[in-house]
Amino acid sequence: MNSRIIRDSLPADASAPAANDALPSAAPTVDLGDNRLYIHRELSQLQFNIRVLDQALDERTPLLERLKFLLIFSRNMDEFFEIRVAGLKGQVALDHELIGPDGISPRRALAEISEIAHKQIERQYAILNERILPELVAHGIRIVRRTQWTHKQKLWVRRYFREEVAPLITPIGLDPTHPFPLLVNKSLNFIVRLDGVDAFGRDSGLAIVPAPRVLPRLIRLPQEICEGGDNYVLLSSMIHAHAEELFPGMQVLGCYQFRLTRNADLTLDPEDVEDLALALRGELYSRRFGDAVRLEVADNCPRDLADYLLKQFGLAESELYEVNGPVNLARLFRIASEAGYPQLQYPPFTPVLPKALKHVEDLFQVISKQDVLLLHPYESFSPVVDLLRQAAKDPQVLAIKQTLYRTNANSEIVDALVDAARAGKEVTAVVELRARFDEESNLTLASRLQQAGAMVIYGVVGIKTHAKLMLIQRREGSELVRYAHMGTGNYHTGNARLYTDYSLLTSDEALCEDVHKLFSQLTGMGKVLRMKKLLHAPFTLKKALLELIARETAHAAAGKPAQIIIKVNALTEPKVIRALYKASIAGVQIDLIVRGVCCLRPGMEGVSENIRVRSIIGRFLEHSRVYWFANDGDPQMYLSSADLMERNLDRRVESAFPIEGKKLQQRVHNALGLYLADNTSASLLQADGQYLRPPVAKGEPARDVQAELLEKLCGTVGARG
């Protein structure tokens, strides 16, 4: 790829940079619209999935954790096909192809995705069969294949099949009165070739056997019929071995597993929705039967049967994936999560409390005197829960307002809100029903809160509420005092042990007033309210970020040191990318820590030589969002719920809150420095869109940011084990 993209499309006399597309007058003119400067969003997403799969080969990681990474790749690919590939196919089908800044059409993107996905899925099964499973066997963990069953195991499996499996199976013979059944998204099924005539004289020769969805896909064999260790049998193996029992008097000539992936995106037209909850319940049912996007079959399935299935689902040959193993690897998570093998898992750790919160009974008293910043999962999420619990019981607390994006109906957070509502406090919950794949859980928790007497708001139709905010109003003497929690992650105690996120607990009057205004905008109606400190999408966040980048650009153009560090999950917004390119051209040093999708190309001569992009994948999911600007010696920093994507900045309610005070700023900045020094978990984005591990000089110590933070904050050595 030619990395030099210089054009005469922008005026040479461009004035000082601002939030528009102007460049410093001294800079060369550059065509920032050249599609070679941008990486296709879905292809970048696929590269992220590949980086996850790569972790399964990293022998520094404990074996069961490597298995988890391999299975997470399966889950990621499922969602990739259900949402991203389905969206591209929909554009092609409707002859409405949208071409982004990268210039790649959906049709071409689908072809490239198919080529890459086929290679990586084949690689995934090779890693499983040639590396992971043999190593598991060496540690006494086995998936026992049919050909390996002992006589005792065969008898046990037959009894289990007849008592637990067969009564729940409904075989479906295919003939004119039994057309091909409508199969649920991602369900396990078998196509069976038969010989013979049944009791009614039918001899179609084919049948479909849907595996019961209520049964586990992995069954543990009893210890007494095994020779030590942990031994499992796949449900698919049981059905294969006893398929003839499902078709009495018929001969089974072949039985082959397959799985269909469907479009699982929800489509709600805001103009046609009168009751969002009711409409969403209907959409959730239809998600199970969306248009087909991918067919997975066992690699021993005869070609004529695979072609038959493709025809039934209206899929092309390029959408067929022949796999050497179970068609749904995610079902193996049971093995990866089994206790009893500490040497094969990450070492345990205990999240700590910061010094200011140790042995504290009254959180309000502490937060009234100082801001408290928490870095999860190294520091405990319990202060956030405890603050809400204390507020629920405190007679001086009058009102609680909270956004809920991803949590669950029985979470400690929801329990506390229910307790507060039952205690007579004014509880308002802004529940985002459309949090993808958590819609059903959010409907349940919304009902539970309503039954307790809380006011439940579903946000704004057409705009998801993604901000993470809690506001508590408390009577203290003759005054009403506000306390707030703002975070980069969800109110989900489970995720707080797995995701890296920041939490800020504060009683800052201006910041709490801003949070109050944002809740007022969500629950009521009126014009945009002016904020003092908080940046919020879809109104001020993008504009402010562009201005902050432009200010750094102006500093560089004036010969001053200029630097930007941004940590997000994804970077796709074209205007932000253009602003970063202009900053790079002006001489701003830019470090981007982007876990997932990144559509910016670093290292392009004349454009992005001053931009470096790295992705960190490790024990914890990197989820925090940080924006840091050097600002000519007076650093400015925001933490946020928002990634730098069009949807976050233009079509979501998001918040970015400032971190003020040198001590807290320095703490976050030091952590960013650890991310930039990581040479173990990091991958560096190249100009061609590929990711490479950073070179480590001889004698250079290994640096792992998550391990260092664990050791520094929790006293636990090593994130890798």
Which residue numbers are catalytic? 466
C-beta separation of 599 from 541 below 8 A: no
- The Cβ of residue 476 has, within 10 Å, a number of other Cβ atoms equal to 10
d(CA 3, CA 527): 46
d(CA 626, CA 641): 9
Q: Could you tell me how many helices (H) and strands (E) the chain has, helices first?
A: 20, 27
| CA Rg value for the chain | 28
C-beta separation of 88 from 80 below 8 A: no
| Segment (H or E) for 523 | helix 509-523
Q: Which amino acid is at 611?
A: I
d(CA 599, CA 601): 7
- The Cβ of residue 424 has, within 10 Å, a number of other Cβ atoms equal to 10
From the list 218, 297, 292, the residue with the least C-alpha distance to 257 is 297
State the sign of the Cα–Cα–Cα–Cα dihedral 522, 524, 526, 532. Answer: negative
Q: Dihedral (C-alpha) 527, 532, 535, 541: value to the nearest 10 degrees? A: 70
d(CA 52, CA 69): 6
Token pair for 209: 């056997």
| Segment (H or E) for 24 | none
d(CA 684, CA 305): 43
Q: For residue 484, give the DSSP letter.
A: E
From the list 619, 626, 596, the residue with the least C-alpha distance to 373 is 626
From the list 55, 30, 33, the residue with the least C-alpha distance to 683 is 55
C-beta separation of 465 from 522 below 8 A: yes
Q: Which amino acid is at 155?
A: L
C-beta separation of 20 from 55 below 8 A: no
Backbone angles phi, psi at 509, to 5 degrees: -60, -45
C-beta separation of 406 from 490 below 8 A: yes
